[in-house]
């Protein structure tokens, strides 16, 4: 892993420079992260209204919170140039992706079980007819 200590080389007393292409993309990324986080929170809450939906809804809600927190930390890094904020932002973003990975794997497993149940159901119906 790279050392982020060199990132603190900008003095806080300097004038604020124009954003440039990277700054614009950085702002767009963090605003998209906040939007996606809010979407995950709302969708997770609505999904959690049913007991079976809570299997997906609660982790979605938690991952949405992590993504919004990561965006806040990255904005803090941009304002203060604090490497601790950058590290926390990356850690929270990593937690978001880990939770999403788990949700996807659970979804695939449930889908496979569903397909097997359908095949067994129709297999038993067709075997009892003949």
- Kindly state whether residue 17 falls inside one of the protein's structural domains: no
- Kindly state whether residue 111 falls inside one of the protein's structural domains: no
As a whole number, the mean pLDDT across the chain is: 86
- Kindly state whether residue 107 falls inside one of the protein's structural domains: no
pLDDT at 30 over 90: yes
Closest CA to 41 of 61, 68, 14: 61
- Kindly state whether residue 56 falls inside one of the protein's structural domains: yes
Tokens encoding 102: 């788990």
pLDDT at 46 over 80: yes
pLDDT at 55 over 90: no
- Kindly state whether residue 119 falls inside one of the protein's structural domains: no
Rounded distance between C-alpha atoms, residue 27 and residue 4, angstroms: 20
Q: Supply the range of the domain harboring residue 61.
A: 22-99
- Kindly state whether residue 62 falls inside one of the protein's structural domains: yes
Tell me what percent of the residues of the chain surpass a pLDDT of 90.
63
pLDDT at 76 over 50: yes
């Amino acid at each position: 892993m790279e050392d982020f200590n060199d990132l603190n080389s900008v003095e806080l007393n300097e004038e604020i420079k124009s954003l440039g292409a990277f700054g614009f993309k950085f702002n767009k990324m963090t605003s998209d992260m906040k939007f996606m986080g809010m979407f995950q929170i709302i969708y997770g809450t609505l999904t959690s209204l049913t007991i079976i939906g809570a299997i997906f809804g609660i982790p979605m809600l938690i991952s949405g919170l992590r993504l919004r927190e990561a965006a806040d930390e990255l904005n803090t890094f941009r304002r203060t140039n604090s490497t601790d904020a950058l590290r926390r932002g990356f850690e929270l973003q990593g937690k978001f992706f880990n939770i999403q990975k788990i949700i996807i794997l659970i979804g695939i497993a449930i889908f496979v079980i569903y397909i097997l149940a359908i095949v067994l159901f129709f297999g038993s119906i067709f075997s009892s007819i003949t």
